[in-house]
Amino acid sequence: MWASVEEFNDAKNRLSTLKKDPGNEVKLKIYALFKQATQGPCNTPKPGMLDFVNKAKWDAWKSVGSLSQDEARQKYVDLIASLVSVDAPAPPTAPSAGGTASFETLLVTTEDKVTTIRLNRPDKKNAITVQMYNEIVEALGQAANDDSVITVMTGSGDFYCSGNDLNNFTNIPAGGIEKMAKDSGELLKGFVKSFIDFPKPLIAVVNGPAVGISVTLLGLYDVVYATDRATFHTPFSHLGQTPEGCSSYTFPKIMGSAKASEMLMFNKKLTAHEACELGLVTEVFPDGSFQQEVWNRIKSYGKLPKNSLAFSKQLLRAVEKEKLHHVNEQECERLVERWLSDECMNAIMSFFQGKSKL
């Protein structure tokens, strides 16, 4: 027996009770099954290439093929039931000895004079959403003014960070793609600015693969520690984009123009040891002892005089700060142009076409 119309309608109502966002891939599948169950196979015109959201929905519905409406109704009911069953609220997290700041995409703790900002979307490889961009800026602002001596950025799970969540490009505002590009450029500029201006020593603990902006920002950190299984990849040209995070300036300065070009223009992926040899990474540790060795060292840094470290950083970085702000502005202006280009749009559409296959 297939699911009844009453069961289908009940599943539709239960969907609105979900507290946790199931993610865009699952939402596309829900949409496709709903359309198939209520209207049958996709027979609407294909949306234009620039209509990212409706194009992704159309692709998802089209991929269901000739599935009968009864079968689609049953699959829809089963899918909603599986989502509702795992949508239990998470238990409250006890704060650490030094206290925690409350964020949805981050875990922020302060202990032993060390503030740790941990990217906390492990199921999405810590890909950075618009919300995460804003929360990182807020977390850095809090860390700049708390009683900690140093601040650490790291990731939850097996990834440090997989870069931008490309689903950011599906949230097109009322003003259209031009407004989305302009708003994204302003968001990125403010985000990078918060790293340029951060007054305390900033340490990256790269616990796994790093992609995109999580790599380009490393030139703005004071120290970068990495596990030997980490990799560093900036595949901008694959997506029709250009570098950000001041990397167009910091990378040639750190590793020389030829090696920087290999990474930023030709998508070369570095191993942790290669990144260390080029100066992007300070030190590499065996994965088995990485966490213990790195955090023991960081804990000892937390015992150093706070003002001495802050003033030392100011002397080391003050000469370049104006230059970095100028580079950040130029990079963001170029990216806004790129996001509106056919090259970039076609590359992103290709990404979503691959993601929407069910």
DSSP H helices in 119-176: 130-145
- With respect to residue 16, please indicate whether it lies within any of the assigned structural domains: yes
Determine, yes or no, domain membership for 247.
yes
pLDDT number for residue 168: 67
Report CA-CA distances (Å) from 302 to 106, 243, 295. Answer: 21, 33, 10
- Judge whether 30 lies within some domain: yes
Last residue of a domain, one of 89, 109, 137: 89
Closest CA to 114 of 94, 87, 139, 143: 143
Do 191 and 316 reside in the same domain of the chain? yes
Could you tell me if 215 and 254 are in contact, meaning their C-beta atoms sit under 8 angstroms apart?
no
Predicted TM-score (pTM) of this structure: 0.73
pLDDT of the residue at 314? 95
How confident is the model at residue 151, as a pLDDT? 98
Give the pLDDT of residue 354. Answer: 60
Task: Give the end of a domain, one of 66, 89, 112.
Answer: 89
Residues 203 and 141 in one domain: yes
Whether 95 maps to a domain, the answer reads no
Mark whether 113 and 10 lie in a shared domain: no
- Residues 27 and 56 both lie in one domain: yes
What is the separation of C-alpha 176 from the centre of its chain, rounded to a whole number of angstroms?
Answer: 23
pLDDT for 57 equals: 83
Longest CA span, the chain: 74
Give every residue of the chain whose pLDDT is below 70, as ranges.
1, 49-52, 85-101, 168-173, 351-358
CATH number at residue 115: 3.90.226.10
Q: Are residues 18 and 115 in the same domain?
A: no
Amino acid identity of residue 137, one-letter, is V
Residue 44 lies in a domain: yes
User: Which ranges of 47-151 would DSSP assign to H, the alpha helix?
Assistant: 52-63, 69-85, 130-145
187 and 231 fall within a common domain: yes
Structure tokens at 164: 């931008």
In a domain, 354, yes or no: no
Instruction: Output the domain CATH number for residue 24.
Output: 1.20.80.10
Residue 265 and residue 130 share a domain: yes
Q: Hey, what's the torsion of the CAs at 270, 275, 278, 283, to 10 degrees?
A: -170
Specify the number of domains making up the chain. Answer: 2
The conformational region for residue 306 under phi > 0 = left, psi -120 to 50 = alpha, else beta, is alpha
Asked whether residue 52 falls in the same domain as residue 112, the answer is no
Q: Which of 39, 67, 89 is the last residue of a domain?
A: 89
Task: With CA atoms as reference, report the closest residue to 207 among 269, 123, 292, 309.
Answer: 292
Residue 73 lies in a domain: yes
* Residue 257 sits in the same domain as residue 191: yes
| Beta strand pairing call for 106-111 and 150-155 | unpaired
Residue 38 lies in a domain: yes
Which domain range does residue 134 map to?
Answer: 100-349
Task: Tell whether 47 and 170 lie within a shared domain.
Answer: no
> What confidence score (pLDDT) does residue 353 get?
63
Q: State the Cα–Cα distance between residues 310 and 297, nearest whole angstrom.
A: 18
* Nearest Cα to Cα of residue 194 among 263, 141, 126: 141
Tell me what pLDDT residue 51 has: 65
Burial 256-288 (b: 16+ CB within 10 A, else e): eeebbebbbeeebbbbbebbbebebbbebbeee
Asked whether residue 184 falls in the same domain as residue 104, the answer is yes
Same-domain pairing of 153 and 246: yes
